[in-house]
Amino acid sequence: MSKHRAPHRMVRRRGRVGAMGLSVGLTIAIGTASVGILPQLKADLAAADTSTVASAAPAAIEKATIDPLVIPEPTPAPKRRAAAASVTKVAALPEGSGSGRRIVFDQSDQRVWLVGNDGKVKRTYPVSGSRFDNLQPGSYSVQSRSRHATAFDGSGTMEYFVRFATGFSEPIGFHSVPRYNTGELEQTKAQLGTPLSAGCVRQWMPDAIALWEFAPIGTKVIVTA
């Protein structure tokens, strides 16, 4: 190698080294600058986020307010009362009403009893007897029976007529509540127990049927005051 070419190669190497140094220097400078910029950006972003959250927080909290959940207490089911025993008090037979199988009619109470051979009451119910004093207390018997009958004055009809006595001029007996010729009943069920007839003993239909079936001709009838 010639001595004259050596310096030239050294110059090239120095040039490369210088270029490399410049490149490294620029990288360091840029890196340093980046390091300086990133913390600042992070700080700015953090400040911006904090401001946004701080301003949004109250509204968000207000909108997110939830009413407390109220669970109603269950209403206890009402306690069932024990069913009271059904007691039907049978009206006592009036004193001096005879014995054996018979029909008893008490004018004061306006009530009838159907009494069996054993002396026990088979049925009792309120009736509507005469408004007038045309039936004396005493012992009678069934004289005749008519499934259908007409009032003595022709004003209406009645059913299950069981005659046992005679009044001033007309027979007296047990029968259903009469109907006017228009079809209307002469009285209501609620009025039974009150004297409303002209002489006979009015009964509600089921009771009239029961007495009809109980009392063939000759059945004893006791009338008490």
Q: Which residue has the tokens 């089921």?
A: 206
Amino acid at 132: F
Pair of tokens at residue 219: 């059945």
pLDDT digits (tens, 9 = 90+) for 102-154: 999 999 999 999 999 999 999 999 999 999 989 999 999 999 999 999 998 89
Instruction: For strands 102-106 and 171-176, give the pairing.
Output: unpaired
List the chain domain ranges. 1-51, 102-224
Rounded mean pLDDT, 44-68: 44
Q: How crowded is residue 149: how many other Cβ atoms within 10 Å of its Cβ?
A: 20
Q: Measure the CA–CA gap between 131 and 129, rounded to whole angstroms.
A: 7
**Rounded to the nearest 5°, which phi and psi values hold at 8?**
-65, -40
Asked whether 142 and 162 are in contact (CB, 8 A), the reply is: yes
Query: Which residues on adjacent β-strands are paired with residue 124?
Result: 113
Rounded mean pLDDT, 194-199: 96
pLDDT tier at 38 (50, 70, 90 boundaries)? very low
Q: What is the pLDDT of residue 68?
A: 53
Pair of tokens at residue 117: 């051979």
Query: Which residues on adjacent β-strands are paired with residue 205?
Result: none
The residues near 163 (Cβ < 8 Å, ≥ 6 apart) are 142, 143, 144, 145, 146, 171, 172, 173
Asked whether 215 and 104 are in contact (CB, 8 A), the reply is: no
Asked whether 81 and 105 are in contact (CB, 8 A), the reply is: no
Q: Quick check: pTM over 0.75?
A: no
pLDDT digits (tens, 9 = 90+) for 163-196: 999 988 899 999 999 999 999 999 999 999 999 9
In CATH terms, the fold of domain 102-224 is L,D-transpeptidase catalytic domain-like (2.40.440)
SS3 for 189? helix
What secondary structure does DSSP assign to 91-156, as a single string?
Answer: PPPPTT--SSSEEEEETTTTEEEEE-TTS-EEEEEE-B-BSSS---SEEEE--EEEEEEE-TTSSE
Rounded mean pLDDT, 50-69: 45
Rounded mean pLDDT, 191-220: 98
74 pLDDT higher than 60: yes
